[in-house]
Chains A and B, each alone.
Chain A
């Protein structure tokens, strides 16, 4: 690309709104032009500062709001709804969510084991990543990424990326993913019409300009992949085919 790259183009790039072509052009231009690279990095820096300044943290007052929600419409008839929802929120009320997360991570990943048995109720992890009862991933954006995203496409506009795709011994499709903005990466396997969480790990997205999907997968997630992998990971063609077929369970062969 020649000539001036304007702020709008740079902004579209960092927001994931640029086309693949625009991205390639701007990245090439930035590689050749220190001033442009500096503008790009200033943009990313201010974005990061802004996100740091507004964490999505649980608040004790959410309990009352959740009670209000639980009491509405259909759930009004179901007395167990509230007990369920208080369980949803209780883990989030420690004064320092990060510390809770650290303890959970330490407990869960000591031997690269599976976290899902702990996830009998919904939890919201730092950022916006949400897991419903039984380990089902309830984060709509993560589910969308797992359903539709191909590894080669890299992160979407909200920072969700998919890495490895493979089948487990039962023929269920599994995929590794990362959610940079929520600060988690993990492994999810297909179960009925949902994605069940198998492993989850704190994840720090690459700080540099180049963002890749699979290269930054945390070791605990890779270990979970190894424990579950049956045969080879899918190549791009097999990944696309499985996606287009709706991630149906394949016969065990």
Chain B
């Protein structure tokens, strides 16, 4: 059991060349950034564009990031601003997910245990896309990304009370829709 003796054996810090903390954290965030992009932009290619622009802007505005604060909230904020700016320009994401859209194959998680669960996940996905965007953002940040109310309110630039009411209304709509689709327990 020498292999397992003493944590020090296999834990190395700060040795050699490595990405700095900001870069490491940003790379680690990519799956979550992509997920949030998919909430903001249902079509896969649009989500990819949004993610790419977000990464580029995060790198170029790195100087504005305050170390010690949450990088996820900061990048979500950037992403959302880009999405809003783009939305004003084009509305191209109005083409809502078609059955043959390439995101369908990737969502929901193929690891989900049963066909029924996968179907439920697709229904949940439809349900969130049916929400008005401000409710959808609130729901995504809190329920999917796990931000606190205060953090989500900051990302969205709204008072805490506004965030809470969007969250309540969004959730009520989700529950009603899922119940209507027969998704239970």
Q: Which among B11, B24, B48, B111 is the interface contact of A135 at CB below 8 angstroms?
A: B11
Collect the chain A residues with CB atoms within 8 Å of residue B18's CB.
78, 81, 84, 133
Judge whether A85 and B19 touch: CB under 8 Å: yes
User: Which of A50, A66, A133, A196 is in CB contact (< 8 Å) with B27?
Assistant: A66
Which residues in window 132-179 of A have CB below 8 A to B? 132-136, 138-141, 157-159, 168, 170, 172
Q: Are A191 and B168 in contact (CB under 8 A)?
A: no
Name which of A53, A56, A58, A81 has the most chain B CB atoms within 10 A of its CB: A53
Check: A117 CB closer than 8 A to any chain B CB: yes
Residue of A nearest to B184 (CB): A45
Contact of B3 among A8, A117, A128, A140 (CB under 8 A): A117
Chain A residues closer than 8 Å to B139, beta-carbon distance: 50
CA distance A119 to B33 in the complex (A): 24
Q: How far is the CA of A204 from the CA of B174 in the complex (A)?
A: 24
* Residue contact B59 to A73, C-beta cutoff 8 Å: yes
A107 touches B (CB below 8 Å)? no
What interface size band does chain B fall in?
35 or more
CB of B158 within 8 A of chain A? no
**Interface pair B7/A84, CB less than 8 Å apart:** no
B89 at the interface (CB under 8 A from A): no
Interface membership of B12, Cβ < 8 A: yes
Docked Cα-Cα span, A74 to B143, in Å, equals 35
Interface of B is mostly: helix
- CB of A72 within 8 A of chain B? yes
Chain B positions within 8 Å of A170 at CB level: 6, 8
Among the 9-residue stretches B80-88, B92-100, B123-131, the one with 4 or more Cβ atoms under 8 Å from chain A is B123-131
With A7-B172, A46-B175, A54-B125 as given contacts, are A113 and B3 in contact (CB-CB < 8 Å)?
yes
| Category for how many chain A residues contact B | 35 or more
Q: Are A81 and B120 in contact (CB under 8 A)?
A: no
State in angstroms the CA–CA spacing of A207 and B71 once bound together: 30
Is B17 within 8 A of A81, CB to CB?
A: yes
Determine whether the beta carbon of A17 is less than 8 Å from that of B4: no
Given A47-B143, A51-B143, A69:B109 Cβ within 8 A: no
A234 to B39, CA, bound (A): 43
Contact partners of A141 in chain B: CB under 8 A: 146
Q: 11 new A-B pairs (CB below 8 Å) besides A45-B178, A53-B125, A95-B110?
A: A7-B168, A7-B171, A11-B164, A46-B175, A53-B124, A69-B59, A78-B18, A116-B11, A117-B10, A134-B10, A140-B25
Q: What is the interface of chain A, defined by CB distance below 8 A to chain B? A: 7-8, 11-12, 15-17, 41-43, 45-47, 49-59, 61-62, 65-66, 68-70, 72-75, 78, 80-81, 84-85, 88-89, 95-99, 113-114, 116-117, 119-120, 122, 124, 126, 128, 130, 132-136, 138-141, 157-159, 168, 170, 172, 181, 189, 191-194, 196, 198, 227
